[in-house]
Chain A
C-alpha cells in the first residue's frame, strides 16, 4: 500500500550509541519531515526537506542529522544517543512544501538507556 514506511518500529539504544531511523515514501512527495512526540510536549519538528538534496533544521535539531539523496528516502541519524532522545519519532510527507495534507508514518518508539 502507498504511504510512509518507518523502520524499525521499536528500538532500545545505550547512551552514546548511534543509529539511523529509516523513512521511505512511495507517493513521489517533495516534502518530507521528521517529528518527535513526547508526553506533554506535542509534536516538534526536527528536520525537514523540500526536495532531494535540500534539508533544513526545525525546532529541535540538536543531536540529529539528515540527508535526502533520493525523493523517496529521508533517514534520520542519531549521532550519539542520549536519554533525552527517548521519544516516538514520526516521519511525514506532503506533495509539496506548501501542502498541508501531511501523511504520517506509524512511528518509531526509541528508548535510550
Chain B
C-alpha cells in the first residue's frame, strides 16, 4: 500500500461546478497537509496548507483534513477554466524527528473545467 493514494483522474467538470479532490494516507504520523496546483509544463505551486485536523478556507478553495479517517479533501467552488491543472496532495511529519523534512506527494489528479 502506498503511503498516499490519490485518484489520477482525469476529472472533467463544467464551469461553475463544485469540484472535490481527495487523498487517503496510511501514516498516522503525518501532521502537515498541503495541496499544490501544477499547470502543464510548470512547477507545482502551493495552494493550501493545514495543520492536523480541521478546515481551512481561502476564497473559492476549502481544504479539509480528517485524521481519524486518514482522508484529506480540496473543494473548489464555482470552478473556472483557469482551474484546469493537476492537483497534488502532499503531507509531512511533525517538525522534529528523522525524515520529517520530506514531503510525501500523491500522484496528482488532472482536472479539466469545461467552459
Q: Which residues of A contact B (CB under 8 A)?
A: 4, 31, 33, 40-45, 48, 50, 58-59, 90, 92, 97-98, 100-107
Contact = CB atoms under 8 A, between A and B. Distances in A.
B30 to A, nearest CB: 11
Contacts of B49: 100-101
Contact of B43 (A45, A90, A101): A90
Interface of B: 8, 32, 34, 41-46, 49, 88, 90, 92, 95, 100-103, 105-108
A44 B88 CA distance: 12
A58 to B, nearest CB: 6
Nearest to B106: A42
B107 A106 contact: no
A40 B49 CA distance: 24
Contacts of A40: 8, 107
The majority secondary structure among interface residues of chain B is loop
7 contacts: A41-B107, A58-B102, A100-B46, A102-B46, A102-B103, A104-B43, A104-B44
Contact of B44 (A31, A33, A90): A90
B21 to A, nearest CB: 15
A93 B34 CA distance: 15
Ranked 5 nearest A-B pairs via Cβ? A104-B43, A98-B95, A42-B107, A43-B105, A42-B105
A42 B108 contact: yes
A52 to B, nearest CB: 16
Contacts of B42: 106-107
Given A100-B34, A100-B92, A105 B105 contact: no
A25 B42 CA distance: 17
B103 A50 contact: no
Nearest to A94: B101
B101 A105 contact: no
A12 B90 CA distance: 30
Contact of B101 (A31, A106, A107): A31
